[in-house]
Structure 1
């Protein structure tokens, strides 16, 4: 009967479709078998090695090769940090300013160059204005925060000696000496990590100029720059690399905007609580909390502890306890409300991954590494998921396809269907 399977017949009437469904590796193996139908016999050495050992060896050398490539990449980034860090900052700034530049082009009909320049000048004016308004208070405040925190540490030390723990003076001094020696031993690394780009003022100025210069041209001509970079890849990899990068930029933009919002909420919450309690230096504390919030876990703990110490010195233990409660409440709102709701979908990183990323970044590149670790890992997570078949942003689709064939063939002014500027909201936008 036609409905019954014949003995020895294949499981499907379309064996080619079955091979194709198994993936590219199966198709390649079928092609090799068709070209050379004679099965290859294993050598005596291969036959004597158990199959699990062969698989383990195959995995081992590939993993070692990946680790070696990653090590070379980290070394290259460290050697070129004077260039890499300003370019990374420029990408973040371009992601933030891309919606503003697009608004100026589409709504106000400004030329592309003028819109990019106005966006960048507006950002510089905003930051400069805020620093001018709060300049004197901030300059005086940061110089006083260290003294206030040191006095707070002294009061905590006194409480440890006279409080319920009854620690001896020798024990407390030994602990303080250990902490001081650790800080002194690592101070050079901390300072170099905080600066990261440089050890001289000239290098800092050069890095700032590179960041501003790259930000302007990313806003002005990000699509052409990206098309040239993708054109360096093999032809068959360009389309997928292009689509993966689009999704990575969406993740980067979502992370950057959300982190700024989270840092602002932390700064306003803790600063308002300090102002209500009458704690001095409330404005510098708010700015310190805002900056520290960009480093997950570590920054929030350190800046919150400084606020508590200042409250302890200025207002006494009661105000310090209230300040501690305020800091804990703000951090709980951040960790259990803001982070899961605002950032969870776009970044999709487990807290353990965030903690390990921050620790690894700070170990490799100091403070700057801790600041950039989470966005880098978030973008890599999105890109790797897309390349492995798990699209986090299926609504983006592939309508903004890459059609370039080589770096030389990329047009100076790509059409709407192929333009991808730096920033998640600029993919596929029309260029005037």
Structure 2
């Protein structure tokens, strides 16, 4: 009697017995690891090519700042070459003027500053001597011994001079490269971007173009807002220093202006500089008054000015700002702190715009388009950034 053979059952797939949640987590994990590896390689290359990347980033930020002025000149009938020339000359004029003002103020006030520094040092030594019962000779001996711990030999001065010379050479080279890059970004920025888009797969060009345009609008508005906020900070703290008759009030104001381009941290450091100058050269009461002026200016900036002039499109959460500045400083020093927030703002809006799919119907977004996509429902029917 013939028996029917049982059909051979197919082997169970390898995924049997593995929960679906674990399979999904595994799939996401290796993708995240791949993305992290790519980001790590990019950061490593940027750090290795810092002398090339930093001037390019500076040129991009300056182009974002000058583009509105350059575009306005072209709209009123100026030829492109003339509008670009005027924009570059305006930038060089402002920078040169600030440097000249600071240097001239320092040269004028240096003799009085040296005299006041010596007087203040003697006052501090006298206070320490009377408070702790230590003679001034003993204090001077401690100071001399401390200075003697440093090996200030001829070799030290030679190596220091070589280091300074190398740094100056790098700065000058970077400045020339930044100006050269800025010139071509203003002249042929769109053509350069079209060339970059041509290197991407055809199906992704429209989305990348829309996202990059959204990010560029954000960085442009961010630059305009930051220069206004920096100007207000510099004027407020500079007038306070002038009112208290601090030495070098104008250089302090310029330092505040430049430091304000590093959000939160820059304002804190430059404000502390003004307070320290007041403490050393005038006294503790004036230092407390200067501290109050700095805090008042910062509160006006953070609670009144920024909500008025900085829309939701360019607004970045304070925690994101602090983390971005810290990460940028850790990876690239002072230039990293300067570029961190604009990069975060660019990525924030670009990714949102691409994820929203708005690029399919609006490949060249406006600020109104960005305002629409950068608000989300908070669950109570309200739109929040």
Return the TM-score normalized by structure 2. 0.76
How far the C-alpha of 1:162 sits from its partner, in A, is 6.8
Is 1:119 equivalent to 2:83 in the alignment? no
Alpha-carbon distance in structure 1 between the residues aligned to 2:166 and 2:320: 31
State the distance in 1 between where 2:361 and 2:108 align: 52
Residue 16 (structure 2) aligned to one of 47, 50, 53: 47
Question: Residue 375 of structure 1 corresponds to which residue in structure 2?
Answer: 342
After superposition, the Cα gap between the structure-2 partners of 1:126 and 1:305, relative to the gap in structure 1 and judged at 3 Å, is: closer
The 1:47/1:248 distance shift into structure 2, 3 A limit, reads same
Partner of 2:243: 276
Name stretches of at least 5 consecutive residues in structure 1 with no aligned partner.
1-40, 164-172, 178-194, 402-423, 425-432
- Matches for 1:396-407 after TM superposition, within 5 Å: 398=362, 400=364
How far is the alpha carbon of 1:351 from its aligned partner? 0.5
Contact 1:262 1:334 in 2 (8 A): yes
Alpha carbons 1:101, 1:116 under 8 Å: kept: yes
2: CA distance, partners of 1:140 / 1:363: 37
- How many corresponding residue pairs? 326
SS in 2 for 1:47: coil
Corresponding residue of 1:208:
175
Deviation at 1:199, TM superposition (A): 4.9
- Using the TM superposition, give the Cα deviation of residue 233 of structure 1 relative to its aligned residue in structure 2, in angstroms: 0.8
Structure 1 residues 397 and 96: CA distance shift in structure 2, 3 A: farther
Which structure has greater helix proportion?
Answer: 2
Superposed counterparts of 1:212-291, under 5 Å: 212-291=179-258
Provide, for residues 269-322 of structure 1, a one-character-per-residue CA deviation record: whole Å limited to 9, x for no partner.
011011111122111111111111112222222211121121122332221111
CA distance in 2, matches of 1:230, 1:289: 39
Q: Does 1:75 align with 2:39?
A: no
Report if the CA contact (8 A) 1:142-1:284 is conserved: no
Shift of the 316–230 alpha-carbon distance from structure 1 to 2, 3 Å rule, reads same
CA RMSD of aligned residues (A): 3.5
Aligned residue in 1 for 2:7: none
Alpha-carbon shift at residue 261 of structure 1 (Å): 0.9
Tell me: CA distance 1:46–1:203, structure 2 relative to 1, closer, same or farther (3 Å): same
Give the Cα separation in 2 of the matches to 1:120 and 1:42.
72
Tell me the distance in 2 between the aligned counterparts of 1:400 and 1:51. Answer: 41
1:351 aligns with 2:343: no
CA deviation string 1:161-210 (max 9, x = no partner): 979xxxxxxxxx9xxx9xxxxxxxxxxxxxxxxx9xx9532222221111
Written as runs of structure 1 = structure 2, the 5 A alignment for 1:303-322 is 303-322=270-289
- Paired with 2:44 and 2:227, the residues of 1 have a C-alpha distance of 30
Paired position in structure 2 for 1:292: 259
Task: Select between 314-323 and 216-225 the one with higher mean Cα deviation.
Answer: 314-323
Instruction: Please state how far the C-alpha of 1:42 moved relative to its aligned partner.
Output: 8.7
- Using a 3 Å threshold, how does the CA distance of structure 1 residues 321 and 42 change in structure 2: closer, same or farther? farther
Instruction: Tell me whether 1:389 sits opposite 2:353 in the alignment.
Output: no
Q: How does 1:154-165 map to 2 (within 5 A)?
A: none
Match of 1:91 in 2: 60
Q: Residue by residue, what CA displacement relative to the aligned partner does 1:33-52 show, whole Å, maximum 9, x if unpaired?
A: xxxxxxxx894431111222
Work out the CA distance in 2 between the residues paired with 1:362 and 1:399: 35
Q: Distance in 2 between matches of 1:337 and 1:142?
A: 37
RCO greater where, 1 or 2, for CA within 8 Å and sep 6 or more? 1
**SS in structure 2 of the partner of residue 46 of structure 1:** coil
**Residues 56 and 257 of structure 1: CA distance in aligned 2, closer, same or farther (over 3 Å):** same
Aligned partner of residue 310 in structure 2, secondary structure: helix
The aligned residue for residue 66 of structure 1 is: 35
Give unpaired runs (5+ residues) of structure 2: 1-9, 133-141, 147-163, 371-385
**In structure 1, how many angstroms separate the alpha carbons of the residues matched to 2:232 and 2:330?**
28
Equivalent in the alignment of 1:56? 25
- Once the two structures are superposed, the pairs formed by residues 8-47 of structure 1 within 5 Å of their partners are 43-47=12-16
Name the CA distance, whole Å, in 2 between partners of 1:75 and 1:328.
38
> For 1:347, what is the secondary structure of its paired residue?
coil
Q: Distance in 2 between matches of 1:384 and 1:365?
A: 24
1:139 to partner: Cα distance: 5.7
